[in-house]
Amino acid sequence: MSADPGAATLRIRRAVAADVPVLAQMIEELNADQREPLGHVTTAAVARDGFGERPEFEALLAELDGAPIGYALYHPSWSTEVGEKGFYLYDLYVREAARGHGVGRALLAATAVRAKEDGRTFLWWSSKDWNRKAQDFYRRLGAIEESVKAHALLGEAFDSLAASERPGPASKST
């Protein structure tokens, strides 16, 4: 990022299939930044699940003078709290050198615009409990903070639970 951010051109655009390698690379950068395991996200998985026949997610890329500096990855959601559809923002990432110059805000704003274009009324996301800088940033935008615990069932635990499902006789209420 240049010393004068106004001198550079920031562009937010929807990711396309040609962006798969850089998107996969930045996902790994975010995973490292968030202390998550590395090596699970491949370009093949990003291509298949983001740009295949039935995409599971969409992504926006932030570019500064054509160089990728961040992304937002989201997918459709529906809220049982408000009875409306929105987007679940799974990832918001800005490369270290570009932080503090409005890129994250621009990505979130573009995601909100994309949601409105799709007839959606909210964005929802979570953050690591220890990531106070991100939480402060979200608060400044007007985001509310909810007390929730995130849970994930992965790998062997997921497979074990799925294998334990046995159709049985329906119980009758008396």
Q: Over the stretch 45-70, which tens digit does the pLDDT of each residue have?
A: 999 999 999 999 999 999 999 999 99
Domains of the chain: 5-164 (3.40.630.30)
**Percent of the chain's residues with pLDDT above 70:** 91
Examine the residue annotation and report whether 71 is marked as an active-site residue of this protein: no
Q: Which of 71, 74, 93, 138 is catalytic?
A: 138
Long-range contacts of 147-154 (CB under 8 A, 24+ apart): 150/126
Residues pairing with 84 in the sheet: 79
| pLDDT surpasses 60 at 171 | no
